Structure 1
Amino acid sequence: MKKFNRYFTGLFVVFFTLSLAGCGALHTSIKKRNLDVQTKMSSTVWLDPVPPEKRTVFLQLRNTSDKPGLTYENEVRAAIAAKGYQVIDNPDIAHYWLQVNVLQVGRTDLRAGDSFGSFGSAIAGGVAGAQFGGGSGQVAAGVAGAGLGVIFDAMVDDNLFTMITDIQISEKVKDGVRVNQSEKAVLKQGESGSKTQTSSEVVDRKKYQTRIVSLANKANLEFAEAEPPLRLGLINSLSGML
Structure 2
Amino acid sequence: MPATPFRHGPRAPVLIAAALLLGGCAATQVAIEKRNLDVQTRMSATIFLDPVPVEEQTVFVQIRNTSDKPELDLAPEVAAAMQAKGYRVVTDPRQAKFYLQANVLAVGKSDPSAIRQVVGGGFGAGVSGGASGIVAASAAAGAFGPTGRAVATGAATGGFGEVVIGSLVKDVYFSIVTDVQIKERLPEGRAATQNSALSNRQGTSGGDTVSYTDRVDMKTYQTRIVSTANKVNLDFEEAVPALRAGLVRALTGLF
What's the counterpart of residue 56 of structure 2? 54
Change (3 A) 1:49 1:148: closer
Deviations 1:23-46 (CA, angstroms, capped at 9, x unpaired):
332221111000000112222211
Separation in 1 of the partners of 2:242 and 2:204?
A: 43
Separation in 1 of the partners of 2:58 and 2:253?
A: 15
For the 8 Å contact 2:136–2:172, the answer to whether it is kept is no
Separation in 1 of the partners of 2:211 and 2:219?
A: 19
* Identity across matched positions, percent: 48
Separation in 2 of the partners of 1:185 and 1:176?
A: 29
1:170 is aligned to 2:172: no
SS in 2 for 1:97: strand
SS in 2 for 1:191: coil
What's the counterpart of residue 219 of structure 2? 206
Q: Which amino acid aligns with 2:157?
A: A
The Cα of 1:19 is off from its aligned counterpart by 4.8
Separation in 2 of the partners of 1:58 and 1:112?
A: 38
Deviations 1:160-191 (CA, angstroms, capped at 9, x unpaired):
11211100000110123221111101111101
Report the number of matched residues.
Answer: 204
Separation in 2 of the partners of 1:162 and 1:141?
A: 34
Consecutive unaligned residues in structure 1, runs of 5 or more: 1-17, 119-139
SS in 2 for 1:43: coil
SS in 2 for 1:74: helix
Within a 5 Å distance, the mapping from 1:87-166 to structure 2 comes to 87-108=89-110, 112-113=136-137, 144-146=157-159, 149-166=162-179
Separation in 1 of the partners of 2:185 and 2:154?
A: 74
Change (3 A) 1:184 1:237: same
Q: Which has the larger radius of gyration?
A: 1
For the 8 Å contact 1:186–1:194, the answer to whether it is kept is yes
Match of 1:234 among 213, 227, 247: 247
TM-score by structure 1 length?
0.77
Separation in 1 of the partners of 2:251 and 2:82?
A: 8
Change (3 A) 1:141 1:65: closer
Deviations 1:98-148 (CA, angstroms, capped at 9, x unpaired):
10111111213679547xx97xxxxxxxxxxxxxxxxxxxxx999721255
For the 8 Å contact 2:173–2:228, the answer to whether it is kept is yes
What's the counterpart of residue 130 of structure 1? none
Q: Which amino acid aligns with 2:37?
A: L
What's the counterpart of residue 80 of structure 1? 82
